[in-house]
Structure 1
Amino acid sequence: MSLVKKIFLCNCIQRNLENLSFYFGISSLLFISIFLLSNTVYALPKSTGIIIPLYADPGGEWEKVIYAKKTHPSVPVLVIINPNNGPTPCPNQDYVKGITDLKSAGIFTLGYVSTNYTARNHSDIITDVDNWKNCYPNIDGIFFDEMSNMLGKEKYYADLTSYAKSLGFTFTVGNPGIDTLPSYVGTVDNLVIYEDVGLPSFLSLEEWCPNFNKSNISIISYGVNDINDSTIERISHKVGYLFITNPYFDKIVEELDKRGYEKKDHHNEEPIILKLMHRHVNIFKKFIHK
């Protein structure tokens, strides 16, 4: 994941989760299913849920997600936890407690692992998966980012899913971020087939989704300047999980590039960048699902 995108998503959560309870309230009126968890199986809800890139350290942002979930417990929620493009050196007690609190609220947790489109050393990926399990055993599943969509790489991800589940993880998400091949369905439990500015076209969803259960599919959209209830409703018929933000993303990238912040050490510069972006971001347009 690029630094700009990671910081952008982090700031979306940090700045705007105060709006989350309102949108959860809208959603909860129409959701008809909840998380069904066991030691070995995660059953996806029949209704569309929310997938949240929770790219912020445990604290106020996490507490707002927890509050919203507790207020509207029937709304299915996945959160992706990404402290350092993967797990932190373990164990970080703030994350141990934060993950426990998320799960106690009924939130399903995924640990972030980059695959760099299969270019990353396989042993490093396995190490990240192991570290999530060893350091944060309460994590429910793994989010494999930068997933390839090239023919012939399917076994790579199927093997990663098998390995993750051999450790006791119950769910995997793969993120190619674009349309992928039908042969990738089943290599992970859920595929993010769209991660970009704006919303995917209905035509692309119609073309990709007819032969698959919507539980196989998620989308992550940002830079959505306007959206109405009927649009969200139509999308929710096609995807298992979605995340929509409404920032001026192009303006943010332009400002970061102009100031050169993205070229600096993000651990030192992130607070400045977050402050810069505070005035631009407005998260979570209306979530209405059937």
Structure 2
Amino acid sequence: MSLLIPLYVHPAEDPGAWHRLITAATRTYGVVLNPASGPGEVPDPAFTAAAGALRAAGARLLGYVDTDYGVRDPAEITEDVRRHRDWYAADGCFLDRVTATADGLAACRRLVRTLRRLGVGTVVLNPGVHPAPGYARLADLTVTFEGHWSTYVSAFSRPAWTARHPAGRLCHLVYGVPEALVPLAVRTAHERGAAVCGPVTGEPPNPWAELTPALAGAGR
């Protein structure tokens, strides 16, 4: 099981969390860098330093980019990805709020092709739900669930097409997990065909402001 780590807190606000993440970098699938709901307008020195330390420790860096469910101009998305690469040496991108409908598949395919031509190494798509068949073939990793633990245990369903994809290309991000049940959340993701996950104990509005307790035991 690999862990995807969206740590949406500034390094100056919680340096301890970033230090723990750096020391456990090799236990992760990747770390999502999100200075300002994207790369921001100018480089952030604290994120530059954190990104450098993570890279030196062996982490894969994924720049956060909001696609606004297909509404945002692809040129703006591409520019954000380029900034993450140039400012923070990101290896790839984490495309958030990706549309999940069949109607949006062609536009998403064009966007991913553009990013591949830029040299983006890893593309993660996050529709947060199981998208129409076809999306998962575009990405290195697709987040097919993002939501609360209560929903994950009571209302999760897995479409048949997911069985045609390796578990290593599917991810579940679950928040509001009681700390004692984090190991169960990891096992549940694996049983549901996702070899990458990110269970956290945090709650909205920003459940990703803290590290997953699973990081301490990942890879053991």
TM-score per shorter chain, which class? Answer: 0.7 to 0.9
Letter in 2 for 1:211: R
Out of 182, 205, 218, the residue aligned to residue 133 of structure 2 is 182
Aligned to 1:171: 122
Are 1:160 and 2:111 matched, yes or no? yes
Distance 1:215 1:143 in 2: 16
Distance 1:288 1:64 in 2: 13
Q: After alignment, is 200-209 or 98-107 more displaced? A: 200-209
Out of 233, 240, 257, the residue aligned to residue 195 of structure 2 is 240
| Structure 1 segments unaligned to the other structure (5+ residues) | 1-47, 254-272
**Identity within the alignment, %:** 23
1:74-109 C-alpha deviation (Å, 9 max, x unpaired): x23311111111102233332222211101111111
Out of 177, 200, 207, the residue aligned to residue 224 of structure 1 is 177
Cα pair distance change 1:112/1:98, threshold 3 Å: same
1:37-86 C-alpha deviation (Å, 9 max, x unpaired): xxxxxxxxxxx2101111122351221101233xxx4x233111111111
Are 1:102 and 2:54 matched, yes or no? yes
Helix, strand or coil: the match of 2:172?
Answer: strand
Q: After alignment, is 101-110 or 87-96 more displaced? A: 87-96
Q: After alignment, is 220-229 or 51-60 more displaced? A: 220-229
| Structure 2 segments unaligned to the other structure (5+ residues) | none
CA contact (8 A) 2:11 2:46 kept: yes
Count residues in correspondence.
211
Alpha-carbon shift at residue 234 of structure 1 (Å): 4.1
Cα pair distance change 1:168/1:115, threshold 3 Å: same
Helix, strand or coil: the match of 1:221?
Answer: strand
Distance 1:126 1:288 in 2: 33
Out of 144, 149, 161, the residue aligned to residue 100 of structure 2 is 149
Larger Rg: 1
CA contact (8 A) 2:65 2:93 kept: yes
Aligned to 1:24: none
After superposition, the CA RMSD in angstroms is: 2.9
Letter in 1 for 2:123: T
Runs of 4+ residues deviating >4 angstroms: 228-231, 285-290
Cα pair distance change 1:244/1:234, threshold 3 Å: closer
Distance 1:145 1:197 in 2: 17
Cα pair distance change 1:181/1:209, threshold 3 Å: same
Distance 2:163 2:109 in 1: 22
Aligned to 1:270: none
Cα pair distance change 1:190/1:77, threshold 3 Å: closer
